[in-house]
Structure 1
Amino acid sequence: MHPIPLASLPADQRDYQLYRAGNGLFCLLIHDVHASQATAVYQVAAGSHAEPDDLPGLAHLLEHMLFMGSQRWPAPGSFPARVAEWGGRFNASTAPYATRFFCSVSPQGLQPCLAQLTDMLAAPLFAPQQVEQERRVIDAEFQTRLADDDIHAQAVLATQVQPEHPLSRFTAGNAQTLAGDAAALSERLSQWHAIHYRAGSMALVLHGPQSPEQLLALAQDSADQLLAGRAPEPFALPLFAPGQLPRQVDWQGRSSQAQTVLLYPLRECDVHGAAAHWLGEWLNSPSPAGALGYLRERGLLDELHASLEADVGGQALLRLELHSAHAEPEQVLAGLDGWVQAMRSRDPAEWPQAARRALAQTAFDLGPQGDLLDSCRRYAERLLTLPAEQVLDVPGVALPTLGLADWQQLLSQLAPSNRLLLQRLPRLLGGELCAHTSTRWQARALRSSPAPTANLAGRLGPCLGPLAEAPKGLRWSSVAPGLRLHRFAPSSGALRTRLAWCWTDKAATLAERRWLQACWSLQSEALEQWGARVGVRLQWSLAPGQVVLDVSGPQRLLPSFVRELLSQLQAPPAASQLALIERRSRRWLQDEQDALPAWRLLQTLEQECANRALRLRDPLALWQGLCAQAQILWLKPDGWSEGEGSQLAKLLLNLCPSLLQPFVWRCPLSQLQPGQLQVSEVSSKHTDRAQLLYLPAEDDSLQAAACWRLLHHRLADPFFAELRTRQQLGYWVVARLHRRAGRPGLLLLVQSPDRSHRCIESAVDVFLDQSLQGLGRLSADQLQSQAVHLAQLLEQQRQHPQQGFEAHWEDCLWQREDQLAAEQQALLDLTAAHWSAFVSRLPHSARWRLLSRQAGAD
């Protein structure tokens, strides 16, 4: 292993070391003494764009086949069981230019799981019988994805780019594109793997509490198993043929909502450079000078989401997702053109570039925040695309000062003559059909309206600086009985906190809470963008009877950030914002109703009332009433100063005066009665059929919790293996331990593109009945061994930052004291008599069966 010096390192008490093995494998090793789990991420610089023209989907099939047996571990599907043994998670994904594999397990499981993962990548078997099976799985996945508009959008875009460009290919794969003799297909897989899965085209990131020496030894062992060499470099082709743009393509989607996506191909564009960085910031900014703020102020746009996707040879594709209010696309484009023209004349020397770099440097010094798995995946990608000195950087740290010439060169490509407008419509008459997906589309030349003059003078505004220190004041924990406060000792590094505004039954309907969520998300929008630059993340969501706010970030920033955020929520929304809030709320409702059938069933399982649109009469009165009646649950990390507490108390009491009243919230979800069978039909606009069978516990005792956890442990893998792998019912097959209204239960979910509801119901019931017959025959030794193993996994959950946080939240929600520790002991105390009695009651337990029905179907 050859060490590669890193130009700068975060000051986050982690040890970062970068190496390159003799065979070319890049290895980033992150020693983290506080890590409760260990992670391995492999990135391979080959994806769907590298597959042969005659076998679309080969890269995707290869990704699946790597889990179907390797030289040292030939048993198909044995890797998931190994990861589960160490309380972990895993996944893989195929992208256009890369394929990624990862696992995150307990530290003791890193060596065995990494060894098998490396063997899968280095020496897969490609047995023809497994190729045949996974080909059917790929087709089932493709059929399921046909309900998702993303695959149709990709198919439509493929019709517009140059035929020679890889983006024009169908890459998902299905039974037709991967047809033929399984043995011959196995040989093609082997050949493609030998070309592209070379150490010089791969990167490995390891993160865990192991010493640097131990991580280095694991990396060296992994490198020794991989073949030396590097795969061929992809070659650059222009995305669009000369004269192809400007163009508009209308296409028929599965969603009932229209959507506009604007694409600009960019040449000589460094997606990690200063110009691209500032372009993304200005486009997404809701400030008066940002594209979003400028167009929103003129009533042309509700939302704008800009992203930049790299292509080879310095090319990139700028993607703007636009949600318009009532304006026609021509008006929106004209407004955008006016903004672009005005911004081209703005000298970047006027911008707060130094302040932005200071924010980025602060974020870099603090180190990666949140789930380190996300950072490891990002590092693995950067190892294969960036110089070594930039691998650890957050965007903005090492950026040079942006000059006017570079800025104008980039913005000159956002010209009306250089764009493709993709318009998704709920219905389209006539047109052509995409190959494989049968997506209906029609294209025409795109005309441009004259761009209005945009005056941005004096609108750039100051850079939001550091948050002020909070003054000290009175203690606050005892003056708000309507605030249920649960403190916990956080792990080192980033902090996380959660507040949930709660209402009693009928005090706030689901539609009203969704409206309030839209209101508060809009009011906190600018602060959210600022926080993202220093590693602070916030997220609004809905839960039964609640609006929930999650905030996470560095320890020294989080209290001040939460105080600033609550300050933003004190005033009711401005009259100019009300229409935007209502449209955002309605769009969220429509997104829920357009979701895939399985998601619709999961939504229904957790909904306490009908999910209807809100008929808004007096928005300001609604805002005042919701705030006046809300009480709060707060999961708060220890260590915040009394001054911060005082400021937050005043803000919370001012916003929600009912905090002065005793806490009265109860979960609005109803419980099934023992022996009850409930069947619910849930409307869905998709043709896939989904079924969810939920078995809830009769009570929330610790003994019941231990039994339900053991039941899930015994059934999860066999359920997947039987219904997905053997019976091939569909791509989405899952058994999950699921708590509803504080009680545990077992959730069995299947979504199928081609099986009837009767077939799915029969398969699930037969599996459950046959499994229950064998569950009662566990020996005392087997019961004890598995109970001890589950108790150890629960201890790992308690130590894991994310899982431990959720456990604390459950304790706060249901007023319990360290439920995971109590369940650990209950597992260790579980006897054969307890288990036998539990299994004997299961055939007679309550059951809730939810079925998806296509809207309008008989």
Structure 2
Amino acid sequence: MRTEHFSLGKLVTSLVVVFCAASYSYASDIAKSQNDTRDYQSITLENGLSVLLVSDPDTDKAAASLNVNIGSAANPKNRAGLAHFLEHMLFLGTDKYPEAGEYQAFIQSHGGSHNAFTALKNTNYFFDINADDLEPALDRFSQFFIAPLFSEEYTDRERHAVHSEYSAKRRDDGRRTYAATQQSMNPAHPASRFAVGNLDTLSNDKEGSLRSDLIKFYQQYYSANQMNLVIIGKQPLNQLESIAQQYFSTIKNTKAQTFIIDEPQFKPEDLPLELAIKTLKDTQSLSLSFPTQANLPFWKSKPLYLLSSLIGYEGEGSLLALLKEKGWATGLGASPGQSFASESSFHIQISLTPEGLKHTDNIVSLFFSFIQSIKKEGISQAIYNEEKLLNAQQFRFLAEQEPIHYVTQLTQSMQDFPQKNWLNAPYLLEQYDLSAINQFTQAIRPDNMVLSVKARNLETNFTEAYYDSEYSINKISANRIKYWQQAELINSLHIRNANPFIAENTNLQPGTDNQLKPIQLDTGKPGVTLWQHQDTTFKVPKADLYFTLLTPLARNGAEVTTGLNLYTDMVSDELNKSLYDAGTAGLSARIYAHQRGISVRISGFDDKIEVLSKLIAKTLRKPELSQARFKRVLQAYQEQLKNSDKDKPYNQLFRVSYEVLMHNASLSELQKTASNYSLEQLSSLVDELFKSIEVRILSHGNLTASQAKKLTNALLQELQPIQTAQVAPQIDILRLEESSVLTKTLDIEHNDSATILYLQGDNLSTQTRAATALLSEILSAPFYTQLRTEQQLGYIVFATPMPLRKVPGIAFIVQSPTSPPKVILGSIRNFLNSFRSQLKTIPKQQIAQFKSSVVARINAQERQLQELSNRFWQEIDQNNTKFDTQEKLTKAINQLTNRDLVNIYDKLLARQLVLQNTGAGAKLNLTSDSAK
């Protein structure tokens, strides 16, 4: 039986084209960053579609995003998940391109990526592509909104994919706690309802019923007047205009009404209330949420943003600093919540220690003490001016984002802000509105609060239906409210002082464009190498200073791995107040342990980079190893290790693959070591670390060679290593045996099973690495289409390159709510066998397209200073001091023949690692058998 195709717009296409030719409205008064060289133009097509065009002649990637001003809030009450399901269905064929996987295959084979998301108030579709391929991509993309098929075959099939997505996250604590919180909301508010969808809510018992509801929803809400579109391309604006008109003017305008949410999220008479929610992971947290008036009308003065900045501050005088001192908390965040037509909300989230869980009422009291100080002192003009300066600096020197992220952000900005401010609205502070600040502050009070406590061992009396979340809801007693209302001012809690890390000098260092790659500068010290590159490409007063301390100790097993992680956590915790100030001033730092030692990455305005780098180095050498800090950091690390067992199955399998292939300490070894690790062990490790280290440094950005040398000398003076020498340890990757399969089966407590099949290259040659990357590019889209779209094995299905150091490899991943590992592995292997036959016959022209695609990925344009720094740093880490990996791989890819690909594919198939989980009760085992 032939399925009727639904073709919205097919009958009106020719008519609309005639009328659209001269029916634009234009505007170009869009405020942009001084650092932004792109051109912008806003047009409105005759059908009411609002379009922002961005011309960037230098871009290697084009991108587009279409935002529909409707989301899961509009789900019919008897069809939970319908908006999300519709998002899925648009990818599965249109009148013009009826093949279900055609769009994905085209994007993948032209160097691109794509995705979509359904939120409460909007649905967003987006992609990027090689810049030369924008038009054919837009042709395919636009058809989603003109003539989707909604075939009955895929309507019935894809609801299983939605169910798999739901199933994959049933044990996700974020989803579970939100589902429990929904039970306390106003039932009339759409946020209170299940939104993802599953087989029950998307039932199709009566043939065609689901498709009928889908088409009705699409026709009602997917109207051009409720859409925003952003296109970034290398074409000039007038050409982008023609492209937008050609491909999007036939989207039908049904003059759909804007979907307004005007119910309160929480009924006023239900407040204040307290939720207790059981978590699966061994974590503790406390959150406070306060309904407020609508926040969006105050976007120029941003009162909730300012309150978030003060309450979320982590430096001297902050709430978090006091809670850490008491041993009650490890982290704190404050942020505005989602904004609706008639209200917004304000949220505080506090990560608790086990001891803090015993003092939740005291913590809430301290929070209201801090609110009292804000109400008393007020947010001064000086604080406002500092925030305004920091935001202005950030926008003035705004780093260029990846096009795919930028278009997605802009389509949503178009939904919320005036056209002139589509780019700068998030950074704009234009009005110091003390009255508005006071209005929002008054909403932060005990009797207007939703208080949530989340932990693993709480008493509850209800179970939520979709995620099995255990929870309880209770009114808060008058005595507790009175206790918090009477919270007194505390001297140690106060509004922050001026930020000492704000950049004062934002001038660019004089330099030339001659230096294309880092050069090695003489340090005069054995075991100390300095690489320097004064960058003039990005034209920002910023720099990246990276340094690493390499030691053979790092490969000495679980005890050292545990110690190095605790050491860097201790240092980060000690520096937290300074690092927070630096971060808000645009100067970030990350201190972390890894397989060969520890590293520090400092990025941002170069004006204060010397001050921060010396402070970090000094603390590394002489950390304050207090017992109180160690106890708090150790507890957090133990929790992190313990909760790794609660991660998604496929993530756990990936972790184990690194344990097996890179000879890393296993999770169980780390858990055992951390359970009785002492401060004395840590102190001894720090002493041992500095006896002999290798130091590597990269200075990249707005720093001269002489400044780089000065910084290096300052670092070494603070680090005071007893000896520096070339002692960097090597990481030996396990080489899998030919014609055998190494199989590891895990016992994971989760509804879903998962399987990873890893194929390893037989050598480290550039040709094998190039071929592996190209093979991954060729098979990625058909693998997804076959196992996910056609076979519906699960929502999480993908193939990805998996290089380990210089050892090439490909991984195939499937997580399924219904299929056991044996079935999954069989499907993967059937695909691989079938693909081998296809590989021999792929036309040269198609291979050339895939080569172009993978070469584009390898040579992807670095849009931010830090992206280029990271590539230089990776080359330094792998001892490639010619910095020419991209060039070598590009050359090798272009020289590959079909015969090369088949030969290397066969060698990949000969070396396999299988990781799988079979659910509760399975025993961990390690076996080897013959490859099939």
1:28 to 49, 52, 62: 52
Gaps of 5+ in 2: 1-23, 511-519, 924-932
What is the identity, as a one-letter code, of the residue corresponding to 1:588? Q
Compute the displacement of 1:194 (Å): 1.9
1:234 to 257, 260, 267: 260
Compute the displacement of 1:668 (Å): 5.1
Distance in 2, matches of 1:20 and 1:658, equals 67
Higher mean displacement: 539-548 or 350-359: 539-548
1:617 to 645, 667, 679: 679
Match of 2:220 in 1: 195
Note if 1:2 corresponds to 2:2.
no
Tell me the TM-score normalized by structure 1.
0.91
Distance in 1, matches of 2:890 and 2:203, equals 50
> What secondary structure does 1:6 align onto?
coil
Distance in 2, matches of 1:307 and 1:627, equals 41
> What secondary structure does 2:210 align onto?
helix
Higher mean displacement: 293-302 or 701-710: 293-302
Note if 1:210 corresponds to 2:235.
yes
Compute the displacement of 1:160 (Å): 0.6
Match of 1:131 in 2: 155
Note if 1:274 corresponds to 2:302.
yes
Deviations 1:720-744 (A, max 9, x none): 2222222222111111111013211
What is the identity, as a one-letter code, of the residue corresponding to 1:205? V
1:462 to 487, 498, 508: 498
Match of 2:851 in 1: 790
Compute the displacement of 1:787 (Å): 5.0
Distance in 2, matches of 1:378 and 1:624, equals 48
In structure 2, do the counterparts of structure 1 residues 547 and 733 end up closer, same or farther at CA, with 3 Å as the change threshold?
farther
In structure 2, do the counterparts of structure 1 residues 769 and 549 end up closer, same or farther at CA, with 3 Å as the change threshold?
farther
Note if 1:225 corresponds to 2:250.
yes
Note if 1:46 corresponds to 2:76.
no
Match of 1:642 in 2: 705
Compute the displacement of 1:142 (Å): 0.8
Compute the displacement of 1:534 (Å): 5.9
Distance in 1, matches of 2:823 and 2:260, equals 46
The answer on whether the counterparts of 1:736 and 1:747 sit within 8 Å (CA) in structure 2 is yes
Q: How does 1:134-533 map to 2 (within 5 A)?
A: 134-180=158-204, 181-228=206-253, 229-270=255-296, 272=299, 273-325=301-353, 326-327=355-356, 328-349=359-380, 351-393=382-424, 395-403=426-434, 405-427=435-457, 431-447=461-477, 448=480, 449-450=483-484, 451-455=487-491, 460-467=496-503, 477-483=522-528, 491-492=537-538, 499-504=547-552, 505-506=555-556, 509-523=560-574, 525-526=576-577, 529-530=580-581, 533=584
Note if 1:684 corresponds to 2:743.
no
The answer on whether the counterparts of 1:469 and 1:560 sit within 8 Å (CA) in structure 2 is no
2:796 to 729, 732, 756: 732
Deviations 1:191-217 (A, max 9, x none): 211222222221112223322222333
What is the identity, as a one-letter code, of the residue corresponding to 1:748? F
The answer on whether the counterparts of 1:282 and 1:291 sit within 8 Å (CA) in structure 2 is no
What is the identity, as a one-letter code, of the residue corresponding to 1:408? N
Distance in 2, matches of 1:730 and 1:55, equals 22
Distance in 1, matches of 2:702 and 2:751, equals 52
1:822 to 882, 888, 901: 888
What is the identity, as a one-letter code, of the residue corresponding to 2:408? R
Distance in 1, matches of 2:186 and 2:209, equals 30
The answer on whether the counterparts of 1:787 and 1:830 sit within 8 Å (CA) in structure 2 is no
Deviations 1:675-708 (A, max 9, x none): 4532234453433222211111121102212322
Distance in 1, matches of 2:775 and 2:183, equals 49
In structure 2, do the counterparts of structure 1 residues 220 and 635 end up closer, same or farther at CA, with 3 Å as the change threshold?
farther
Distance in 2, matches of 1:853 and 1:486, equals 49
Note if 1:800 corresponds to 2:861.
yes
2:128 to 82, 90, 104: 104
In structure 2, do the counterparts of structure 1 residues 833 and 106 end up closer, same or farther at CA, with 3 Å as the change threshold?
closer
Distance in 2, matches of 1:624 and 1:377, equals 49
Give me the identity figure in percent. Answer: 20
What is the identity, as a one-letter code, of the residue corresponding to 2:913? W
- Cα-Cα RMSD: 3.1
Compute the displacement of 1:55 (Å): 0.7
The answer on whether the counterparts of 1:264 and 1:414 sit within 8 Å (CA) in structure 2 is yes
Match of 1:696 in 2: 760
In structure 2, do the counterparts of structure 1 residues 804 and 468 end up closer, same or farther at CA, with 3 Å as the change threshold?
closer
> What secondary structure does 2:859 align onto?
helix
Note if 1:661 corresponds to 2:725.
yes
Note if 1:749 corresponds to 2:785.
no
Note if 1:813 corresponds to 2:877.
yes
Compute the displacement of 1:531 (Å): 5.4
In structure 2, do the counterparts of structure 1 residues 145 and 433 end up closer, same or farther at CA, with 3 Å as the change threshold?
same
2:656 to 586, 597, 604: 604
Tell me the TM-score normalized by structure 2.
0.84
Compute the displacement of 1:767 (Å): 2.7
Distance in 2, matches of 1:552 and 1:32, equals 26
The answer on whether the counterparts of 1:277 and 1:395 sit within 8 Å (CA) in structure 2 is no
In structure 2, do the counterparts of structure 1 residues 767 and 442 end up closer, same or farther at CA, with 3 Å as the change threshold?
same
What is the identity, as a one-letter code, of the residue corresponding to 1:132? D
State the number of aligned residues: 848
Deviations 1:112-156 (A, max 9, x none): 112211211232221111111111111111111102122212211
Distance in 1, matches of 2:273 and 2:112, equals 47
Distance in 1, matches of 2:722 and 2:815, equals 44
> What secondary structure does 1:400 align onto?
coil
Distance in 2, matches of 1:491 and 1:55, equals 52
> What secondary structure does 2:416 align onto?
coil
Compute the displacement of 1:102 (Å): 0.9
Distance in 1, matches of 2:849 and 2:100, equals 27
In structure 2, do the counterparts of structure 1 residues 483 and 700 end up closer, same or farther at CA, with 3 Å as the change threshold?
farther
Higher mean displacement: 211-220 or 85-94: 211-220
Distance in 2, matches of 1:699 and 1:153, equals 47
Gaps of 5+ in 1: none
Distance in 1, matches of 2:473 and 2:771, equals 59
Higher mean displacement: 662-671 or 377-386: 662-671
> What secondary structure does 1:206 align onto?
strand
The answer on whether the counterparts of 1:29 and 1:216 sit within 8 Å (CA) in structure 2 is yes
